[in-house]
């Protein structure tokens, strides 16, 4: 990846002059009303909320989710208002945000944004849902707050030009705290000064290191829940006039500078056409239970496998070609653990495993990325046949696109190839409503039960007309 490529590709219209970025954002959030949000953005957010709760329900079975619930159980107040998805017990708003956010990121199936290089749903939705449930807010109020949280979180990620990862930061955690605070603060009715404080306090709470790669750790999952919880806390503090910094985003020691790679960021992504163009519409729904960077590998491999009816015994070698960052910084190092994963996280972030599982199993969902699935000897043997190279065209397009080309050399001497420009789930290759419904039901039914899963899908899809979230929350608890 060249230093200039992302900035050239992602350039926006010239920025209007302003004195204070934090105040600019706070003013926009406070003044924006439901009817100011485009119908397309509201429809997209509704889809993201549906998808989110199916993923959270399925994530409840993971040990990382169980430990978070057990840890928080002793902290919950005697009278608690907020839902823990999949359980009858309830807890406080910050702890519900922590639990549901962490749980939602456990399977690597939650939504994501290409240019923002982040997972907005698991940070924003748990915070907004907990506060909306606690305050008795309507479906419209919840959707508005969620849309605003998504938009600010995504734009902050875009401002770092896809490079924050190069400094070792996980944008879901670093951007998510601010997005969650915006959503929670909107529901709490913060005024402009309070919203600016909430944003400033949240900016100081931003965190998220990529150190999970060292041993398949669970801290990446915690980034989402911590961001959601911190957003709720910062908004609550601001509502009581706890003072935040007057400028937290653009000052020399501010948020944008702190998380920028080589001091490169572009404020135009935060404020350019804010309220006119909704970047959240470009968010993606995931269909494979692995890192989004590995998703295009699965897509391109499956396209080849099904088109040519490739069988594992026919494969001599597989070559993955894509941009340098997802390969060299996420999907092939440390190599031995990518070839022979010692944990689910290792497999989720492995290019060889992604190609191999697509060839052998012809899918890459929860079962394939389970503790049993990642040790399948046929898949591991296939992973040893995978090679990789940098694709110059993909390099030029990163991070506006995640292209991938797969070439499979067969034992009869033929080579078969597929190239994916838009991975499945991207807006340009969108998940259909039947596919979304199927994903939700597959994930939620084993936890909530068949009837509750069907009912919750319909309830969430009709969120806009809900007077409050109590019926939806009850169904999500399996009641």
pLDDT value of position 79: 77
Which one is predicted more confidently, 1 or 8?
Answer: 8
Look at residue 329 and tell me whether its pLDDT is greater than 90. Answer: no
pLDDT value of position 43: 98
Look at residue 388 and tell me whether its pLDDT is greater than 80. Answer: yes
Domain assignment present for 441: no
Does 387 share its domain with 345?
A: yes
Does 18 share its domain with 98?
A: yes
Does 262 share its domain with 299?
A: no
| Half-sphere CA count of 63, side-chain side, radius 13 A | 8
* Distance separating alpha carbons of residues 276 and 292, to the nearest angstrom: 28
Number of H helices, E strands in the chain: 22, 6
Does 259 share its domain with 398?
A: no
Contact 308, 416 (CB under 8 A): yes
pLDDT-wise least confident of 90-99, 126-135, 208-217, 268-277:
208-217
pLDDT value of position 18: 59
Does 237 share its domain with 100?
A: yes
Domain assignment present for 458: no
Domain assignment present for 303: yes
pLDDT digits (tens, 9 = 90+) for 91-139: 999 999 999 999 999 999 999 999 999 999 999 999 999 999 999 999 9
DSSP 408-451: EEETTS-EEEEEESS-TTSGGGPPPHHHHHHHHHHHHHHHH-HH
Does 159 share its domain with 60?
A: yes
pLDDT-wise least confident of 74-78, 313-317, 335-339, 398-402:
74-78
Does 254 share its domain with 311?
A: no
pLDDT value of position 409: 98
DSSP state of 314: G
Domain count within the chain: 2
Look at residue 287 and tell me whether its pLDDT is greater than 90. Answer: yes
Residues spanned by the domain of 360: 295-424
**Location of structure tokens 């969650």:** 180
* Distance separating alpha carbons of residues 230 and 234, to the nearest angstrom: 6
Name the domain boundary from 250, 282, 314: 282
% of the chain exceeding 90 in pLDDT = 90
Contact 244, 23 (CB under 8 A): no
pLDDT-wise least confident of 4-8, 35-39, 212-216:
4-8
Does 57 share its domain with 120?
A: yes
Domain assignment present for 313: yes
Does 188 share its domain with 259?
A: yes
pLDDT digits (tens, 9 = 90+) for 425-475: 999 999 999 999 999 999 999 999 999 999 999 999 999 999 999 999 999
Does 416 share its domain with 331?
A: yes
Q: What is the pTM of this model?
A: 0.95
pLDDT value of position 7: 35
pLDDT value of position 15: 47
Find the mean pLDDT for residues 228-252: 96
Mean pLDDT, the chain, rounded, equals 94
pLDDT value of position 453: 97
Backbone angles phi, psi at 405, to 5 degrees: -120, 130
Look at residue 11 and tell me whether its pLDDT is greater than 50. Answer: no
Name the domain boundary from 424, 440, 474: 424
CA nearest neighbour of 259 among 324, 172, 372: 172
pLDDT-wise least confident of 80-84, 210-214, 470-474:
210-214
Look at residue 326 and tell me whether its pLDDT is greater than 60. Answer: yes
Does 359 share its domain with 398?
A: yes
Domain assignment present for 17: yes
Domain assignment present for 289: no
Q: How confident is the model at residue 215 (pLDDT cuts 50, 70, 90)?
A: confident
pLDDT value of position 399: 86
% of the chain exceeding 70 in pLDDT = 96
Q: How confident is the model at residue 14 (pLDDT cuts 50, 70, 90)?
A: very low
Torsion sign (Cα): 180, 185, 191, 195: negative
Name the domain boundary from 393, 409, 424: 424
- Judged by DSSP in three states, 317 sits in strand
Find the mean pLDDT for residues 323-330: 90
- For residue 125, give Cα distances in angstroms to 102, 113, 143, 459: 12, 15, 9, 16
Domain assignment present for 471: no
β-bridge mates for residue 13, sequence order: none
* CATH number, position 155: 1.10.4100.10
pLDDT value of position 8: 34
Which stretches within 32-92 are classed as H helix?
39-59, 63-73
Look at residue 74 and tell me whether its pLDDT is greater than 90. Answer: no
Q: How confident is the model at residue 264 (pLDDT cuts 50, 70, 90)?
A: very high
| Half-sphere CA count of 338, side-chain side, radius 13 A | 23
Find the mean pLDDT for residues 375-403: 95
Domain assignment present for 250: yes
Find the mean pLDDT for residues 379-388: 98
Does 259 share its domain with 344?
A: no
pLDDT digits (tens, 9 = 90+) for 20-69: 999 999 999 999 999 999 999 999 999 999 999 999 999 999 999 999 99
CA nearest neighbour of 188 among 225, 233, 147, 224: 233
* CATH number, position 410: 3.30.1330.120
């Amino acid at each position: 990846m060249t230093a200039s490529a992302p900035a050239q590709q992602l350039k926006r219209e010239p920025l209007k002059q302003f004195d204070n970025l934090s105040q600019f954002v706070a003013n926009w959030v406070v003044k924006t009303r439901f009817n100011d949000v485009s119908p397309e953005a509201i429809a997209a957010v509704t889809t993201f909320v549906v998808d989110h709760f199916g993923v959270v329900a399925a994530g409840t079975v993971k040990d990382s989710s169980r430990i978070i619930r057990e840890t928080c159980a002793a902290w919950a107040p005697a009278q608690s208002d907020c839902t823990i998805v999949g359980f009858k017990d309830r807890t406080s708003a910050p702890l519900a945000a922590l639990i549901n956010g962490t749980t939602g990121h456990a399977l690597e199936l939650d939504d994501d944004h290409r240019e923002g290089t982040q997972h907005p749903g698991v940070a924003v939705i748990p915070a907004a849902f907990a506060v909306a449930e606690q305050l008795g807010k309507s479906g419209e109020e919840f959707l508005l707050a969620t849309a605003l949280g998504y938009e600010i979180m995504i734009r902050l990620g875009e401002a770092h030009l896809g490079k924050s990862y190069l400094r070792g930061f996980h944008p879901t955690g670093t951007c998510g705290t601010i997005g969650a605070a915006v959503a929670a603060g909107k529901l709490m009715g913060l005024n402009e000064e309070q919203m600016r404080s909430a944003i400033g306090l949240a900016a100081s709470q931003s965190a998220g290191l990529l150190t999970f790669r060292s041993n398949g750790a669970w801290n990446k999952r915690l980034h989402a829940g911590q961001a959601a919880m911190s957003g709720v806390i910062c908004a609550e503090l601001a509502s009581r006039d706890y003072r935040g910094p007057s400028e937290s985003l653009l000052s020399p020691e501010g948020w944008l500078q702190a998380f920028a790679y080589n001091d490169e960021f572009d404020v135009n992504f935060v404020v350019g056409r804010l309220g006119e163009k909704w970047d959240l519409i470009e968010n993606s729904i995931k269909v494979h239970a692995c890192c989004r960077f590995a998703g295009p590998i699965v897509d391109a491999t499956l396209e080849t496998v099904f088109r040519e009816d490739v069988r594992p015994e026919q494969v001599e070698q597989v070559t993955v070609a894509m941009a340098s960052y997802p390969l060299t910084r996420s999907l092939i190092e440390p190599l031995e653990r990518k070839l022979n994963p010692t944990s689910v996280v290792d497999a989720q972030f492995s290019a060889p495993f992604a190609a191999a599982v697509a060839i052998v199993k012809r899918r890459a969902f929860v079962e394939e990325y389970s503790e049993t699935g990642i040790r399948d000897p046929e898949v591991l043997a296939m992973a040893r046949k995978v090679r990789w190279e940098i694709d110059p065209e993909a390099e030029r397009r990163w991070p506006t696109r995640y292209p991938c080309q797969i070439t499979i050399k067969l034992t009869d001497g033929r080579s078969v190839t597929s190239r994916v420009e838009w991975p499945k789930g991207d807006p340009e290759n969108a998940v259909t409503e039947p596919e979304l419904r199927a994903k939700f039901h597959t994930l939620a039914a084993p936890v909530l039960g068949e009837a509750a899963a069907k009912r919750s899908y319909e309830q969430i899809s009709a969120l806009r007309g809900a007077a409050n979230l109590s019926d939806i929350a009850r169904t999500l608890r399996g009641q």
